[in-house]
Structure 1
Amino acid sequence: MAQREDTTDLNEKRIHIVALDIPYPANYGGVIDIFNRIRALNNSGIRITLHAFYSNRPEAPELKEYCDSIFYYKRKMSISNFFSFMPFIVKTRIDKKLLYNLLRDTDPIIFEGLHTTAYLNHTRLKGRIKLVRMHNIEYEYYYQLAKSEKNVLRKLYNLLEGFKLKRYEKIITVADHVVTISPNDYDHYNATYPNIELIPSSHSSRKIESLPGYGEYIFYHGKLSVPENENAVMFLLKNVFSRIKTPFIVAGMNPSNKLKRTIKKLDYVTLIANPPEEEMLKLIREAHINLIVTFQATGLKLKLLKSLYNGRFCIVNSPMVSGTGLEPLCEIADTADDLVKTIDEFMHINFSPDHIKIRHQNLMLMFDPVANAKKWTSLLFPEE
């Protein structure tokens, strides 16, 4: 446990945040949202006690800059937890030390993801202000994972986990507010549950960093160990980049050997595995087109947001932007033929200052970090 010296005025606002993973480094979707929310709330004067579950990420001393106290809890990854009626992602994050630490005061609590909600309805937390941040429609996410998974055992696990999550999610009725990440998710939950709010993703960008002019390559980035992302890249390699000669760069975390072998055979394609954040941003900014394709329309893909804030043209398919409100800022192409045609068209178009101005006007309406921090604060401290 890491702790910062307490010099707190009794009138200062304090909260607990229960994170599904250690939110630093902020290098994949869920932890990007969590880390940047921690930073934004801290900058607005809120003092934070962070509780972080982990399995394979190290403790992060960098978080001490934003948190008064940090408690770490190792996930219980026992095989017996697969056979629980409770979803595996929840069951493995039960720790009595967490409950004890939450009961040390009466501060409001943000539960990050359905993953962390095992104690949401605990009798000893009754009367506390409790918010649940929904990063996805979780059961749909697991059903989609099952569709893209070729390994029979993993496919069965994803189907079963989706079934458990659909049954389990009614626990969110106990929360004072359920905070969704996209308009699509808001509509889904608001049709069934009370107290649903929409606050878009917290992110690191404070202004549009896109460069005007032309780039020389097309870029795809994502967590490449995720089957959804690998399937998207394989689709692009087979159906799009086999037909064009524009340089294509793929970058991301932990690509499989299969993906490495496939890319090695292609003359116009380069793979960059596990680039540091600065290099990733440079690749996004210098590309002429950020190509972002998914076959899993769940949540808001933060790689899209990063590309819109930092890159030039964004070409996407419909599932990537469906229900996000970001459709007007992207070029949408759904078939391989349309992708080839759109890429060919936009590789010859100058990304102008007018493009940047329009992007700024639209993104700041939804994703202004200061305004969104105020929304979180009003939910956490409703009487002030």
Structure 2
Amino acid sequence: MTLHVICLDQPYPPTYGGAVDMYYKLKALHDAGIGLILHIFLYHGKEEDALRGIAKEIHYYPRRTGLIRQLSLLPFSIRSRDDSRLLDDLLKDSHPILFEGIQSCFPLADKRLKDRKKIVRMHNVEHEYFRRFAASCPWGMKRFYYTMEALKLRHFERILAHADRILPITEADTAYYRQRFPHNDVRLLNCFFDTSHDNSAGNIGGEEKPYILYHGNLSIIENIKTVHYLISDIAPHLPEGMRLIIAGRRPSGKMMHTAEHTNHVEIIHDPSEEKMDSLISKAHINLLLTFQPTGIKLKLLNSLWKGQGHCLVNSPMLHGNSLGTLCHKADSTEDILTTITALMKRQPSSEELKARREAIMEMGFNNIRNIIE
């Protein structure tokens, strides 16, 4: 069997949530013997040789981000991925098509694909995601843009009626899409992630001083807001000698400058996959906070599986998933600081780490089972 997969972004390296689900899903499909023809939209990413080992063909398309596309009645996240060459490439054969995210769905309703098997993987209820972005912005052009994008995405979402199957990533999203599209086949498909890492060694930090890690895509508003909170409200109150490492893609110059002038804080920008894995694995605490209760936070799953330390989260991080029993939870600044101090005094045992991984598998986060089902 051969499958076309339209990726909304470069899936490798898998250093942020959406890429993690895309890349390890591709790897699981390849390992199951399915031939892959990849169609990848590039923005800041570059062509990656690593994907050639799992794909029969790879086609790249640039995201077109000019002003005219921003003025379209279509959502900008859709219009910027409109490329006629993609449809030409899809029409070369009759293989089924997997659309990664609503952002990749511009050709979904095209009449020339009417008889093709079309599957859409939904990473979020995207218009709700943008609505919350808008609510977090002060009044101005950014808030206007995100509000308009949310409205456009809500309208564009109707295109999903042309999908043969819709695969949301959380139970909450599954319930929403079953209600919105009662005549479509809507099935929960848990997220895919790296299950090859062994966190049972219990070697937190090695010879390094213990540290707290926050990681994510540092260029998106949700995470920028969290980093600002960590630098202004958490880092200044950490005990002497305790480090907060913030790691991720494309931090702004302003963020880098602020971190350099704040005690206890270090920013590692654009780490490789290997470096990020090492940071997650050796952190005494993976501190995972968000103010955006949408989708599933793949970095939480990644940290629970790969980390040899504790995972400390706030309530919105647990939205739409059942991973709360495997984490420590704190919501107020005072509770977060108190919990950090307590957790720095002990390290999870190898037995606790093994039990944590087994619990994750039992909750249905199993790449092989997901492909079979």
The 8 Å contact of residues 181 and 198 in structure 1, kept in 2 or not, is answered as yes
The 8 Å contact of residues 210 and 285 in structure 1, kept in 2 or not, is answered as no
Q: In structure 1, what is the equivalent of residue 276 of structure 2?
A: 280
Report SS of the residue matched to 1:240. Answer: helix
Structure 1 residue runs of 5 or longer lacking an equivalent are 1-12, 376-384
Q: In structure 2, what is the equivalent of residue 235 of structure 1?
A: 229
Deviation at 1:239, TM superposition (A): 2.0
Are residues 1:196 and 2:192 paired?
no
The 2-side partners of 1:288 and 1:211 are apart by 13
The 8 Å contact of residues 12 and 48 in structure 2, kept in 1 or not, is answered as yes
1:93-128 deviation line (CA, Å, top 9, x unaligned): 122221122112111110111011111111111121
Are residues 1:97 and 2:95 paired?
no
For residue 369 of structure 1, the aligned residue among 367, 370, 373 is 367
For residue 74 of structure 1, the aligned residue among 55, 62, 85 is 62
Larger deviation, residues 340-349 vs 291-300: 340-349
Q: Which amino acid aligns with 1:36?
A: Y
For residue 287 of structure 2, the aligned residue among 291, 304, 310 is 291
The 8 Å contact of residues 86 and 168 in structure 1, kept in 2 or not, is answered as yes
Q: Which amino acid aligns with 1:368?
A: N
The 8 Å contact of residues 85 and 164 in structure 1, kept in 2 or not, is answered as yes
For residue 296 of structure 2, the aligned residue among 300, 305, 319 is 300
The 1-side partners of 2:139 and 2:27 are apart by 39
Pairs within 5 Å for 1:175-324: 175-193=163-181, 194-206=184-196, 208-212=198-202, 216-245=210-239, 246-311=242-307, 312-324=309-321
Q: In structure 1, what is the equivalent of residue 356 of structure 2?
A: 359
The 2-side partners of 1:181 and 1:169 are apart by 16
Closer, same or farther: CA 211–142 of 1 in aligned 2, 3 Å: farther
The 1-side partners of 2:247 and 2:139 are apart by 24
Larger deviation, residues 53-62 vs 177-186: 53-62
Report SS of the residue matched to 1:242. Answer: helix
Q: In structure 2, what is the equivalent of residue 48 of structure 1?
A: 36
Q: Which amino acid aligns with 1:198?
A: L
Closer, same or farther: CA 164–41 of 1 in aligned 2, 3 Å: same
Structure 1 residue runs of 4 or more that deviate by more than 6 Å after TM superposition: none
Q: Which amino acid aligns with 2:174?
A: Y
The 8 Å contact of residues 301 and 320 in structure 1, kept in 2 or not, is answered as yes
Closer, same or farther: CA 98–214 of 1 in aligned 2, 3 Å: closer
Structure 2 residue runs of 5 or longer lacking an equivalent are none
The 2-side partners of 1:210 and 1:157 are apart by 46
The 2-side partners of 1:232 and 1:127 are apart by 45
The TM-score, its normalising length taken from structure 2, stands at 0.92
Q: Over the residues paired in the alignment, what is the CA RMSD in angstroms?
A: 1.7
The TM-score, its normalising length taken from structure 1, stands at 0.90
Larger deviation, residues 233-242 vs 155-164: 233-242
The 8 Å contact of residues 213 and 350 in structure 1, kept in 2 or not, is answered as no
Counting matched residue pairs gives 363
Q: In structure 2, what is the equivalent of residue 326 of structure 1?
A: 323
Q: In structure 1, what is the equivalent of residue 51 of structure 2?
A: 63
Report SS of the residue matched to 2:193. Answer: coil
1:341-383 deviation line (CA, Å, top 9, x unaligned): 21122112231123212212211122211111212xxxxxxxx
The 1-side partners of 2:187 and 2:300 are apart by 22
The 2-side partners of 1:236 and 1:210 are apart by 29
Q: In structure 2, what is the equivalent of residue 134 of structure 1?
A: 122
Q: Which amino acid aligns with 1:117?
A: C
1:268-296 deviation line (CA, Å, top 9, x unaligned): 22222222222222121111110000001
Report SS of the residue matched to 1:191. Answer: helix
Closer, same or farther: CA 198–207 of 1 in aligned 2, 3 Å: farther
1:219-272 deviation line (CA, Å, top 9, x unaligned): 111111222112112212222222221321111122222222222222222222
The 2-side partners of 1:60 and 1:142 are apart by 29
1:287-312 deviation line (CA, Å, top 9, x unaligned): 11100000011111221111111112
1:25-78 deviation line (CA, Å, top 9, x unaligned): 222222221121111101100011111112232222322211111111222222
Give me the identity figure in percent. 37
Q: In structure 2, what is the equivalent of residue 171 of structure 1?
A: 159
Q: Which amino acid aligns with 2:66?
A: S
The 1-side partners of 2:254 and 2:139 are apart by 14
Closer, same or farther: CA 214–21 of 1 in aligned 2, 3 Å: closer
Q: In structure 1, what is the equivalent of residue 346 of structure 2?
A: 349
Q: Which amino acid aligns with 1:340?
A: L
